[in-house]
Amino acid sequence: MMKPKVGRMFLATCVGSFFILILYFQNNSRSGTMQLSARTRLPSKTRRSPLQTLYDGDQTDQAAVQATLQGRRELLEAACRSHTRKRRVLTPEDLRHLVVDDEHSLLYCYVPKVACTNWKRVMMVLTGDGRYHDPMAIPANEAHVAGRLRSLADYPPPEINRRLRSYLKFIFVREPFERLVSAYRNKFTRSYNTAFHKRYGTRIIRRHRADPQPEALERGNDVAFEEFVYYLVDPRTQREEPFNEHWERVHSLCHPCLIHYDVVGKYETLAQDAHYVLKLASADREVQFPAISKSTRTTGDMTAKFFNNISPFYQRKLYNLYRMDFLLFNYSVPAYLKLR
């Protein structure tokens, strides 16, 4: 986070380059987008842009999905209006998580623990010039190598603006506490994730465990969910550095109140929503979204069990931390939560 004074200076020096970014946000009413797609309808272009296809709304076979997605967009917009204060100018750094596909005019904001490995694999197929065909043939670690996919943050401002205006912007979200438990299970309960144990586990144990064993302090490989929660709600944690992306809130990773996502997909309806996006991009014959394996999935029941051990005091603190993700994406307060 920038200090306010430094922020102002930064803003002053960059005001020229971000001027267009500001314009983008002022013009981004729904009708603005429509006008734009009408203007970009060039006769030479054989493929219709997915953004046009979405807002022309002529996919009659998809009417139900379309209505659901419109409901989500409207709810998000209303929630942003009532829960965020002043709007600010977007900086390229805010666009770090947006993956660019120039072939199909897509921008995907990736959120870890929401089928993001599979989406990255699919984006590699889509942008790979025929190098890849089957997304599942791409090893998971390969999909996460930096530089395999282009980030919107790497483009100069005019190029950023052009893409923000004319590409289909989409995001996939998930029930916030299911996502959190999924991150905990994946990063702290699997013996192979030694990098996370060393980097985060040792610190969590040092700070949040009374009388830790020397071996636990050294290896950081047996963090309890409870201790992970103490770490998340401790104000020191975010003062020192931003949350790791696996537990950072979608609100902070993808800025859904500043970037107007055209499609808000949900993990809960992943197959349907993913297919819809690929169909909009006319890519549904090029690539199929991989089915998720059910065996290791974190479910709502599992999440409830993890919260059993957490005191109401900490449950409330944790809810407040993730509150925006609940509100913006229409997730209700989980029934197992004891908020009072």
Q: What is the contact surface with ligand NAG in residues (CB under 6 A)?
A: 71-72, 75, 330, 332
The residue at minimum Cβ distance from ligand NAG is 71
Contacts of 141 (CB under 8 A, 6+ apart): none
Least distance from ligand NAG to the Cβ atom of residue 69, Å:
9
Q: Which tokens go with 138?
A: 């791409």
Least distance from ligand NAG to the Cβ atom of residue 331, Å:
8
The span from the CA of 138 to the CA of 41, in Å, is 35
The span from the CA of 270 to the CA of 115, in Å, is 8
DSSP 273: H
DSSP 53: H
Least distance from ligand NAG to the Cβ atom of residue 175, Å:
11
Q: Give 264 or 283: the residue with its C-beta nearer to ligand NAG.
A: 264
For 209-219, b where at least 16 C-beta lie within 10 A, e where not — what string? beebeeebeee
Q: Give 67 or 271: the residue with its C-beta nearer to ligand NAG.
A: 67
Q: Which residue from 32, 68, 37 is spatially nearest to 50, judged by alpha carbons? A: 37
Q: Give 77 or 248: the residue with its C-beta nearer to ligand NAG.
A: 77
Q: Give 67 or 136: the residue with its C-beta nearer to ligand NAG.
A: 67
Least distance from ligand NAG to the Cβ atom of residue 156, Å:
37
The sheet with strand 106-109 has its strands ordered as: 150-151, 98-101, 106-109, 168-173, 263-266
Q: Give 70 or 311: the residue with its C-beta nearer to ligand NAG.
A: 70
Least distance from ligand NAG to the Cβ atom of residue 113, Å:
21
Q: Which residue has the tokens 């586990």?
A: 201
Instruction: Answer for the pair 246, 183: CB distance below 8 angstroms, yes or no.
Output: yes
Least distance from ligand NAG to the Cβ atom of residue 330, Å:
4
Q: Give 173 or 274: the residue with its C-beta nearer to ligand NAG.
A: 173
The span from the CA of 103 to the CA of 35, in Å, is 22
